[in-house]
Structure 1
């Protein structure tokens, strides 16, 4: 994985323009590994890895049994990826990694509450989409074959944690948050390894993953540009919660020519 350290927001914008069609994920600390929330939870609290599948299956089963009380269309819970998406967006640990098709949305999530250098990971989704990158040991496991939107595929190719594969995409029906964030999900086939390690096992002539580091010195300029682009919590999280979360940035954005209040 190539790592690029940019020295300015302008350089980041110029670099991101060369990654047309890629997907992006922002992380608030450049040293954090690229792991899902479920990976971090299992590695920290479930030492016996032989129990991981049963624990993950139980978590999904409990969510399905109870979430029908809170969703307008409970039948959506029957869709594996849609169910995981709901779990993810409401705070449950899942194997999904949130990515976005916008490098600027990724930058916002990385920078908003950062106090150190941040990282934007860029994934070459066009190459993965066209199966120009396939796992070396199991090239038959194409993106189409393992699609977790297909009934039974989550159990067959992912829950067993034995297939070092990566799938990306969205549920057939996207919620308002996923739409607002230009979101997409990356679904790893194993949860004990960070995404770069899994992709190292792929055969490809193309670069699959890049890490872009934004130093903390870039944050002030970047946040002003993102504010001008209307990339805020209010636009990314539709509703009162998003509006309330956006007020923190409003505290920073006091324009010299604008009256307070």
Structure 2
């Protein structure tokens, strides 16, 4: 796949401006640029048990936590994915700023990757069970089944075999990898916070609030407490 390495925040803005007038591109951020595009259920440590079996156990126990009773299988799996269950879904987003946040927030000592994907098709999920898709990898546009999915403008790639990575051999469309140097990560997270992209907004619950305030405390020395009026004219 095509790789681009950016060197500054300005280059990030220039790059993302190319996608401003199109809604077809999807974005994913990974905090370590060496990681493949593999769902959690297919990664080492999670691949010894059938994700379908784990999902069945999750559904049985999750009912008391859900807001309604008539979720589809796709909506339930989207909720399970966004609350940490190993599934064959891989998170993507419609917003590049959200993907940048997840690329920059963790593993501050490692280069990150922002993936840009222009899929040729989306799966007609009404015609399929999540475990019975035809293609090796398909894109799924979910409903706003949870606040996390809605706030993160979530999309998913669905991997028929969770161990199958999305790459040049399996893609169905254009795939670009943007390398983000580790030394830019702190600045990116602070920039995105100013734009309203942070844990508080992406995870609209107590976990998000706690993580956001933890980040604020950890970065206390970063904040400039001595601004003079003439410095911001």
Q: Give unpaired runs (5+ residues) of structure 1.
A: 47-51, 130-142
Query: Cα deviation per residue 1:146-194 (whole Å; 9 max; x = unaligned)?
Result: 423x154324326xxxx423223113x4321111112211212332221
Corresponding residue number in structure 1 for 2:73 = 80
Residue 105 (structure 1) shift: 1.0
User: In the TM superposition, what whole-angstrom CA distance separates every residue of 1:57-95 from its partner, at most 9, and x where no partner exists?
Assistant: 22222122221122121321xx11111112112211001
Matched residues, number: 220
Residue 179 (structure 2) aligned to one of 196, 213, 218: 213
Structure 2 distance, partners of 1:240, 1:217, is 30
Deviation sequence 1:18-66 (CA, Å, 0-9, x none): 1242111111101011110011157x643xxxxx7xx232222212222
1:123 aligns with 2:126: no
Runs of 4+ off more than 4 Å: none
Distance in 1, Cα, partners of 2:152 & 2:175: 21
Counterpart secondary structure, 1:195 = coil
Instruction: Check conservation: 1:24, 1:103, Cα contact below 8 A.
Output: yes
Paired residue for 2:130?
Answer: 154
Structure 1 residues 54-69: aligned runs within 5 Å: 55-69=50-64
Once the two structures are TM-superposed, the CA of residue 197 in structure 1 deviates from its matched residue by 4.3
Flag the 1:199–1:234 CA change in 2: closer, same or farther, 3 A: same
- For normalisation by structure 2, the TM-score amounts to 0.85
2:231 is aligned to none
Report the counterpart of residue 95 of structure 1 in structure 2: 88
Contact persistence 1:164–1:198 (CA under 8 A): no
Aligned residue number for residue 11 of structure 1: 11
RMSD: 2.1
Report if the CA contact (8 A) 2:137-2:157 is conserved: no
Choose the corresponding residue for 2:215, options 223, 238, 249. Answer: 249
Cα drift, residue 255 of structure 1? 2.4
| Aligned equivalents of 2:8, 2:184: Cα separation in 1 | 6
In the aligned structure 2, how far is the partner of 1:75 from the partner of 1:41? Answer: 33
- Larger helix proportion of the pair: 1
Judged with a 3 Å threshold, the aligned counterparts in structure 2 of structure 1 residues 156 and 182 are, in CA distance, closer, same or farther, namely closer
Measured in 1, the distance between the counterparts of 2:14 and 2:33 equals 20
Structure 2 unaligned blocks of 5 or more: 228-233
Deviation digits for residues 188-241 of structure 1, max 9, x if unmatched?
A: 2332221114535x4xxxx61100010012123212211210111011111221
Alignment CA distance shift 1:41-1:65 (3 Å): farther
